[in-house]
Chains A and B, each alone.
Chain A
Amino acid sequence: MGIRQGILLALVFVPVLAAIPVLLVPSGRAARLIALIITAFELALSLVPFAVFMQPRPDGWLVRLDLSWIPAFGINFSLGLDGISLLMAALTAFLFMLSVLVSWDAIRDKSPMFHFMLLVMETCVMGVFLSTDLFLFYLFWEVMLVPMFFLIGVWGHGRKVYSAVKFFVYTFTGSLFMLLAIIGLYVIHGSQAGEYTFALEALKSTHVEPATGLWLFAAFFIGFAVKVPVFPIHSWLPDAHTDAPTAGSVILAGLLLKTGAYGLIRFGFPLFPEASAAYIPVILAVGIIGVYYAAWIAYAQEDMKRLVAYSSISHLGFVVLGIAAWNEVSLAGSVLQMVNHGITTGALFIMVGMLDERMHTRDISAFGGLWSKAPGLSAFFLLFIVSSLGLPGLNNFAGELLILVGLFKEYPYLAAAAFAGVVFTLIYLLRLAQKVLFGPPATDAEFHDLSPREAAILVPLAILVVVIGLYPRILIGPIEGPIKALVSPVAAVKTAGATPQAATAPAQTAAADRGGTP
């Protein structure tokens, strides 16, 4: 095992190993400090590959690590790093460090345990983004729920326990279906190849009967779609977001939702090229409905956190559309948008948290005329709002544009409809900005501007927003290769199977039946 594999292993396991001393230290201060050091170390570690090894191996991966784990079941401890997972890993490390920072003052109760959960969570998210063995992936995917359950349930506010349980049960149910599909695929592959394995590359070569494939992909899709979340099974998200602590919201919006989209890109489509092609109409439909529906609901929200939560569903609708279109441009847009959404929405949640800390309310009507009272804070808030609504020159614009262009290639009318969705986004976000930042002040209460710690959190976010907006190539560069490799096999199936429309029609109805049940 070389130094590269070592980095991979460290990315995944350093947080969980550090979590144990964090749990044992008596003071919250020490726990915070250790957590900050570890997350900073992770961030540094995740940036190393950018600088040092961007030359892919012949099989497309930058780094691979394969260790035998449970040979009786053909389970390996396999990690792989390519451009896509590298971006996601860097985003993970970045957002976790921010999460520690935003919780610096906000979390005083049971601080060691909070940071313990945070670090365990980081391991799981890293694991999800780096695993190339389906069993290992599922393991991280499932364990991820546990710390999140605690983050919401213990340190949240409002109906926190209700939201925590709802979050857990929804996502647990979804992922159990995925578990069945994973086992199903494993069994089919084993009976065909004679060798039972959960390795992604091997399973890709499985020949699945079309009817079985439809079921398996549906189960995978449900598992991922709950996390994204896709339109009819999204209802856990607003509750979870609203009641989570700021750090929890940042991780939920910035990373957990991305694991769903990432799963579709890495596992869902490549494993079932035929079946996924058959489901594309369904996926496009739920994507576009999500864009509009969530934007519509967001407009009616009075709670800022809920508003941002619904905006997440709407934005993720675009990502889903980009994935469903499955060409190089749209997919690049989706991956880019995943990162952008993590940054922008994470920033918005952080800012809502800051407002909440000052006024102890998140009600839009309780704010007004902030610009005159706290210009620094307001400027950042406005920047992130306009970034979120896709102002050209800022990060979201680049991602959305790529998605729409890619979508236009395949489905021009749908692309037009999606574009109109952007206008919807404009409406509710501008309403937010107008009500909170401008207009008459709602109260005469004292209002502090940014503290140095808060500024230190927001500045890097703002820099990223602008830099990615102006020069998206820094993110697109690393993902071009892997996306090309992902697109070609599925696209080949799509073009080959485009003609028999009759075959896909019954599948669509079947999928609609299943897709509708959460």
Chain B
Amino acid sequence: MPSFSMDNMVSILPEMIVLSLALAVLMFDLALPKDEKRYLAYFSVAGLAIAGYQTMNLAGLQLDTFYGMFVLDGYAIFFKVLFYIAAAIAILISIGYVKGQEMDKGEYYALILFATAGMMVMASGADLISIYLGLELMALSVYILAGFMRGSMKSNEAALKYFLLGAFSSGILLYGIAIIYGVTGTTNLAGIAAFIQSGQYSGPALTLAMILLVAGFGFKVAAVPFHMWVPDVYEGAPTSVTAFMSVGPKAAGFAAFLRVFTTALPGIQPDWTVIIASLAIMSMLIGNVVAISQTNIKRMLAYSSIAHAGYAMVGFVSGGMQGVSSVMMYLFIYMFMNLGAFGMVVMLRKDGVAGEELKDFAGLAKKNRTAALLMMVFMFSLAGIPPTAGFMGKFYVFMAAIDAGFTWLAIIGVMMSAVSAYFYLRVIMYMYMKEPEGEFELAAPLSLKLAMAVAVLGVLYIGMAPAGLIDFARISIAGMM
């Protein structure tokens, strides 16, 4: 029997910190009086910072542990850092919001941390089994979070819809994993790659399994045609949860998606390139075109999220060092700008109710210049206009695509970017060029302001000095490619 080395414990140190944090939050929750739950949020953010510090300490290690189930490498560390920041910003956004929506419970923060732990397992999974379990841990936590606003029918509906469709997609993913196991006799990513490389495999079952995996992961990253749940769930879920959901699970989905396909299935790359390329095209097309007709800003951002999954997949298709690092950078940037945009939606309350309609933004610039300015930066970034980070992300993705010979994909992406400029601009138009109606009420506690400051600084800093992030992404995958 193989011996159990200390490496195992070292490699899962970040996961253990986050899980202990979640458990501690659950327990402290009992001791805190009803109106003081915000301390749990501060505690969680502090804990995430410690986890981040510990994770960065592990940088440079390459540990394959738990009998091939788990791997700690640069790639995983990159995504873990992304998840910490996403979770921390999402928690900071939530503090005031959960109070206003009467969902101010300790479990809220614990579930975000559990979801984060699940995402971390996904990023580190070296075996389809552990990836699947990480995915379920994340998904289950997010299902619950989506339905956290118990009094709201919309929130209930969103949670149920997300749960049912999510369970269905998990089933498809599992079916794909089962077929892969049947064909190759292993669920280990390296083992699968080795088997395919050996040339013993014959018959189309592996392709079928690959398609099923694409469907399962495609659901998580919100790619067309597995996007049906996105608008309803994004609209119905509490906005702070939507904010988290649109960046964390999406990035985690991509993390696992990329790792499985680039390490386990490089042998059938031509097959999946075609499929993912068509997914990318459909996502960019449908996401951007349908977003134009939306009047609810959460729905608009939902379709924009679909479109951004499409852009990220352009980098995915391009493959190689450039392609993978471009997707990583894109997701990192997307995290800042999308959390920022949703944070502004959280902030805006109009006539006593949550301002989720586009017209609720009318004349914001007159009432609150800073808020309008921030929203403008996030919108320009999502549209990909320099000097914001969104531009750098798109630039890198399209560059990778052209470099890999997928010029036509880049052309479609660019045309759809032009389309997207219209609906992002419309928000700016409403804020700056329309007269305000009704009373604005900006619910901006210090924590939310802090979160927005981090997001906007991230967007602008990466937009003007992206060199550090590019190097981080490239070094992270040096060992993997």
Contacts and interface: CB of A to CB of B under 8 A. Distances in A.
A contacting B, Cβ–Cβ less than 8 Å: yes
Interface of A: 69-73, 113, 138-139, 142-143, 145-146, 149-150, 153-154, 160-161, 164-165, 168-169, 172-173, 176-177, 179-180, 183-184, 186-187, 190
A139 B387 contact: yes
19 contacts: A70-B465, A72-B471, A73-B396, A73-B399, A113-B369, A139-B387, A139-B391, A142-B386, A146-B380, A153-B432, A165-B425, A168-B425, A169-B422, A169-B425, A172-B418, A172-B421, A173-B418, A176-B414, A183-B402
B467 A69 contact: yes
Contacts of A143: 385-387
B429 interface: yes
Contacts of A142: 385-386, 391
B424 to A, nearest CB: 10
B429 A161 contact: yes
Contacts of B411: 180
A15 B86 CA distance: 35
Contacts of B386: 138-139, 142-143
A183 B398 CA distance: 8
Nearest to A215: B407
Given A153-B433, A161-B429, A184-B407, A179 B467 contact: no
B429 A70 contact: no
A70 B470 contact: yes
Nearest to A138: B386
A172 B421 CA distance: 8
A190 B432 CA distance: 43
Contacts of A153: 429, 432-433
Interface of chain A: mostly helix, strand, loop or mixed: helix
Interface of chain B: mostly helix, strand, loop or mixed: helix
B474 interface: yes
Interface of B: 369, 380, 385-387, 391, 395-396, 398-399, 402-403, 407, 410-411, 414-415, 417-418, 421-422, 425-426, 429, 432-433, 465-467, 470-471, 474
A146 B373 CA distance: 13
A187 B433 contact: no
Return the 9 tightest CB-CB contacts between A and B, nearest first: A173-B418, A72-B470, A176-B414, A139-B386, A70-B467, A153-B433, A161-B433, A187-B403, A183-B399
Contacts of A138: 386
B302 to A, nearest CB: 23
Nearest to A141: B386
A187 B425 contact: no
A180 B433 contact: no
A154 B432 contact: yes
A180 B397 CA distance: 11
A142 B392 CA distance: 13
Contact of A72 (B414, B432, B467): B467
Contact of B433 (A71, A113, A160): A160
Contacts of B418: 169, 172-173, 176
Contacts of A161: 429, 433
A69 B369 CA distance: 32
Most buried by B among A139, A173, A180: A180
Nearest to A139: B386
Nearest to A176: B414
Contacts of A146: 380, 385
Contact of B421 (A70, A113, A169): A169
B374 to A, nearest CB: 14
B414 A180 contact: yes
A130 B410 CA distance: 28
